[in-house]
Amino acid sequence: MQYVHLGRSGLRVSRLCLGTMNFGPHTTEADSGQIMDHALELGINFFDSANVYGWKVGEGVTEQIVGRWLAQGGGRREKVVLATKVYGRMGDWPNESRLSARHIKHACEGSLRRLNTDYIDLYQMHHIDRDCPWDEIWQAMEQLCREGKVLYVGSSNFAGWHIAQAQELAKSRHFLGLISEQSLYNLLERTVELEVIPACQAYGLGIIPWSPLARGLLGGALSPSTNGRRAEEDVRKDIETHRQKLEAYEQYCRTLNAAPAAVALAWLLHQPAVTAPIIGPRTMEQLTATMPSLELTLTPEQLKTLDAIFPGPGGTAPEAYAW
C-alpha cells in the first residue's frame, strides 16, 4: 500500500479510502466487518463515514456498525484514520441539522458515541451552510479540537470560493482550517477541475473523490456480467446517455489489459491534488477488485486518450471558458 500526506497536514493516509456508505443498507454487519478487516490487511488505513449513512434519521446506522467493529479491539482504532461528517438532518427539531455551533457540538458527541471512540481524526462538513457565519463554524470546530474530540477538519461538496473564504478566516484566527475536500470527481464528472481543485492546491487541501466509478458506469457497466447498480433505473438511463463514450472506454481498457474500474481509479490517482479516491464496496470481491489500480501506471499518451474519450471542462477557470 502507498501512503501520502492528507493535504498539507502531517497525517499519512492510504491512497485508497474505504467508504462505508453501503454498510447497513446494502451490506450486512457481518460482511461489513469482514470487509473492514480485509481492508486493514491490505494496508488501507483511511475509513470514511457520515452520521446520516444508513438513511434512518437520527440513528447513524453505519457509524454504529463501524463503532462495533472498532470496539472489537486488536489495534483497530489505533490503525484507522477515522473520518465522518456533520451537516445532515439527525432529527425533526430546528437545530438538528446544518452547521450551527449547537448542532456541530451535539452531532460530534453523537458520532463519538456511535463510533465507540473518544476522537475523530477527520471531521468533515458534509455541505456548505450558507446561513451560518464562518466565525461561528470555526469557533465550534476550534473548541472540538481543543477538547481533543477532533484532530483535523475537512469539507465536502464545497465550491472553490467557499474553500477560499473558509481558509482566509481560519488564517485570521490562527487556526489550521481545512486539510481536505471531498468532491464528486471521476472521468465523467470533472467540473471540479475548474475552480475547486485549483483552490485546494492553493490552500494545501487534499482531494478525496467520491463516486470515483460514477455509480458503476466506469466499472464495466456494459459487461453482461455486471450487476448491482446496473439494474437501477436511473443508472440504466445514464448508461444509455453515455453509451458511446462507455463503449470507447471499455474497448480502450481492453487494449490496456486492465479492468475498467482499475483504469478509472488509476486515472484519479494520476490527477493533481488527489489524495485518495473513496471506494465503497458492497462485497469483498468489489474491495479486492480495486487494488490493481495502485499498480497501474498510465503514460501521458494513455492519459491523453482517456481525456479524448471523456473531455474535461477544458482546464482551470477562467481559461477553460475565456482567454
Could you tell me what percent of the chain has a pLDDT over 90? 95
pLDDT of 226 reads 57
Is 275 contained in some domain? yes
Is 320 contained in some domain? no
* DSSP H or E segment with residue 81: strand 81-86
Q: Please, which pLDDT band fits residue 229 given cuts at 50, 70 and 90?
A: low
53 flagged as catalytic: yes
Is 168 contained in some domain? yes
Is 231 contained in some domain? yes
Is 316 contained in some domain? no
Nearest to 40 by CA among 18, 67, 71, 24: 18
pLDDT of 231 reads 60
Is 22 contained in some domain? yes
Query: What mean pLDDT comes out for the span 94-105?
Result: 97
Q: What is the pLDDT of residues 244-262, one digit of tens each?
A: 999 999 999 999 999 999 9
pTM: 0.95
Q: Please, which pLDDT band fits residue 228 given cuts at 50, 70 and 90?
A: low
Is 321 contained in some domain? no
For the cut 90, the answer to whether the pLDDT of residue 227 exceeds it is: no
pLDDT of 233 reads 79
pLDDT of 17 reads 98
pLDDT of 225 reads 63
The whole domain housing 212 covers 3-309
Parallel, antiparallel, or unpaired: how do β-strands 81-86 and 17-19 relate?
A: unpaired
Annotated catalytic residue: which of 53, 87, 152, 203? 53
The residues pairing with 209 across neighbouring beta strands, listed in sequence order, are 183
Q: Please, which pLDDT band fits residue 235 given cuts at 50, 70 and 90?
A: confident
Query: What mean pLDDT comes out for the span 128-142?
Result: 98
Query: What mean pLDDT comes out for the span 166-172?
Result: 98
- Backbone phi, psi, residue 13, to 5°: -130, 155
For the cut 60, the answer to whether the pLDDT of residue 199 exceeds it is: yes
Q: What is the DSSP string of 267-300?
A: HHHTSTTB--PEE--SSHHHHHHTGGGGG-PPPH
Q: What is the pLDDT of residues 31-90, one digit of tens each?
A: 999 999 999 999 999 999 999 999 999 999 999 999 999 999 999 999 999 999 999 999
CA 302 from chain centre, in angstroms, equals 25
* Structural domains of the chain, count: 1
Q: What is the CATH number of the domain that holds 74?
A: 3.20.20.100
Q: What is the pLDDT of residues 309-322, one digit of tens each?
A: 999 999 999 999 99
Is 107 contained in some domain? yes
Average of per-residue pLDDT values in the chain: 96
pLDDT of 223 reads 84
